[in-house]
């Protein structure tokens, strides 16, 4: 047997033994690749006498063709075997139920929903949204809002302070959204009409207080703005937000350093066991603070109080969310408990609109949510984690 025949048989043997496409490829490279054994034989042809070259060349080429044919034949067999193995491995159970898509199973946190609801309501009244940083200066959080240094009203805000800087000034986590009023007045010319929803912080924790919570501030600055406008805006807001046709509100005198006069606002409601209905009853629930912007604040923010006046209000977003949707413990807002979220959360595509309805309830068919004329609210105790 010639060397060529022996080599060819050895290669054909390797081809038939190759167990997968990678092994087959290795055989191909070793035989027909640039440095392969058959290629090496072909390279010797140049040095042969013409006669010998003709006969040897034909023999080597034929051997190469047979090897190439054997390679492609084996490749087909291995491919088919690989496919069969895959088909056997990857079985699909067509009787399995479809997995719910995220649009069905995901939930929007009630806080985000309420944030959207109130933004829509105020946007419809012509308010734009202003934002500010969570880490504030003492100046914007207190001093320019007419809390003089050392004033006891500062102590009412349980403030998270950062370490003092070299110059003695201290940054803090804003205790309310009112510093965004300051930022807005310093950066915009009146007339101003903004709401400022955002995160706020106080060192406080119980069922209705968490160290981080949310407020929405409102600010209107114009030449003729007055308390009548403020009352109308808040009245319209409450009716729309609580989705009732009429709502009674009570404005009580109060104190905030940055407003004069200052008022606190209660809404009328009826508390029945665990239910709250708005627009009826003999109970009152405090929902916000408001007032006419103090002239000292206008001056500190570069606005002439002899030319302009304005009003402002501040409201806890978590609080109105709890009131509207019947949660009793604020801390659960931050627990990330999926059971709570799937109970109180909203479907992602149920985006609140004024025309389509603000709240689309995740309640059984027939329940109407917080309408005073609808069926009753769900019992708060319906959900127990």
Which residues are at the interface with ligand DAH (CB under 6 A)? Answer: 176, 178, 217, 256, 259, 289-291, 312-314
Residue closer to ligand DAH by CB (options 312, 317) is 312
Q: Residue 170 CB, nearest distance to ligand DAH (Å)?
A: 19
Nearest residue to ligand DAH, scored by beta-carbon proximity = 314
Q: 109 by DSSP, 3-state: which?
A: coil
Q: Residue 215 CB, nearest distance to ligand DAH (Å)?
A: 6
Residue closer to ligand DAH by CB (options 190, 291) is 291
Q: 211 by DSSP, 3-state: which?
A: coil
Q: Residue 277 CB, nearest distance to ligand DAH (Å)?
A: 26
Residue closer to ligand DAH by CB (options 309, 372) is 309
For residue 134, give the DSSP letter: S
Q: Strand runs (DSSP E) across 25-159, as ranges?
A: 128-129, 135-137
Q: Residue 291 CB, nearest distance to ligand DAH (Å)?
A: 5
How many other C-beta atoms lie within 10 A of the C-beta of residue 55?
10
Residue with tokens 């500062």: 154
- Contacts for 81 with CB less than 8 Å, ≥ 6 apart: none
Residue closer to ligand DAH by CB (options 289, 345) is 289
Residue closer to ligand DAH by CB (options 21, 260) is 260
Question: Quick one: which of 357, 352, 325 has its CA closest to 341?
Answer: 325
Q: Residue 265 CB, nearest distance to ligand DAH (Å)?
A: 10
Q: Residue 223 CB, nearest distance to ligand DAH (Å)?
A: 19
Q: Is 144 buried (19+), middle (13-18) or exposed (0-12) by CB count in 10 A?
A: buried
3-state SS, one letter per residue, for 194-257:
EEEEEEEECCCCECCECCEEEEEEEEEEECCCCHHHHHHHHHHHHHHHHCCCCCCEEEEEEEEC
Residue closer to ligand DAH by CB (options 259, 359) is 259
């Amino acid at each position: 047997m010639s060397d060529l025949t022996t080599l060819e048989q050895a290669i054909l043997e390797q081809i038939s033994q190759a167990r997968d496409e990678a092994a087959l490829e290795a055989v191909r490279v070793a035989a027909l690749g640039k440095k392969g054994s058959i290629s090496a034989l072909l390279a010797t042809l140049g040095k042969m006498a013409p006669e010998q070259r003709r006969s040897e060349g034909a023999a080597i080429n034929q051997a190469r063709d047979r090897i190439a044919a054997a390679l492609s034949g084996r490749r087909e067999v291995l491919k088919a075997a690989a496919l069969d193995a895959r088909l056997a491995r990857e079985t699909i159970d067509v009787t399995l139920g479809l997995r719910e898509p995220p649009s069905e199973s995901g939930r929007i946190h009630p806080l985000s929903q309420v944030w959207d609801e109130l933004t829509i309501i105020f946007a419809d009244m012509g308010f734009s949204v202003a934002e500010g940083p969570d880490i504030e200066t003492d100046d914007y959080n207190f001093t320019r809002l007419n809390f003089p240094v050392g004033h006891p009203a500062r102590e009412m805000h349980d403030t998270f302070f950062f370490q003092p800087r070299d110059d003695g000034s201290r940054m803090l986590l804003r205790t309310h959204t009112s510093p965004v009023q300051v930022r807005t007045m310093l950066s915009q010319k009146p007339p101003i009409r903004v709401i400022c929803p955002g995160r706020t912080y106080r060192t406080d924790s119980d069922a209705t207080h968490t160290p981080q919570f949310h407020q929405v501030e409102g600010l209107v600055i114009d030449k003729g703005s007055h308390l009548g406008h403020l009352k109308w805006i808040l009245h319209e807001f409450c009716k729309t937000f609580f989705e009732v046709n009429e709502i009674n509100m009570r404005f009580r005198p109060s104190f905030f350093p940055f407003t004069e006069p200052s008022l606190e606002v209660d809404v009328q409601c009826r508390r029945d066991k665990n239910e709250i209905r708005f627009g009826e009853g003999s109970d009152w629930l405090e929902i916000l603070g408001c007032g006419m912007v103090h002239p000292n604040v206008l001056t500190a923010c570069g606005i002439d109080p002899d030319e302009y006046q304005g009003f402002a209000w501040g409201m806890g977003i978590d609080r109105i969310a709890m009131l509207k949707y019947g949660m009793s413990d604020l801390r659960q807002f931050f627990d990330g408990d999926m059971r709570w979220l799937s109970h109180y959360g909203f479907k992602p595509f149920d985006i609140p609109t004024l025309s389509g309805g603000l709240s689309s309830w995740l309640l059984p068919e027939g329940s109407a949510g917080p309408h005073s004329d609808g069926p009753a609210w769900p019992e708060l105790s319906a959900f127990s984690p």
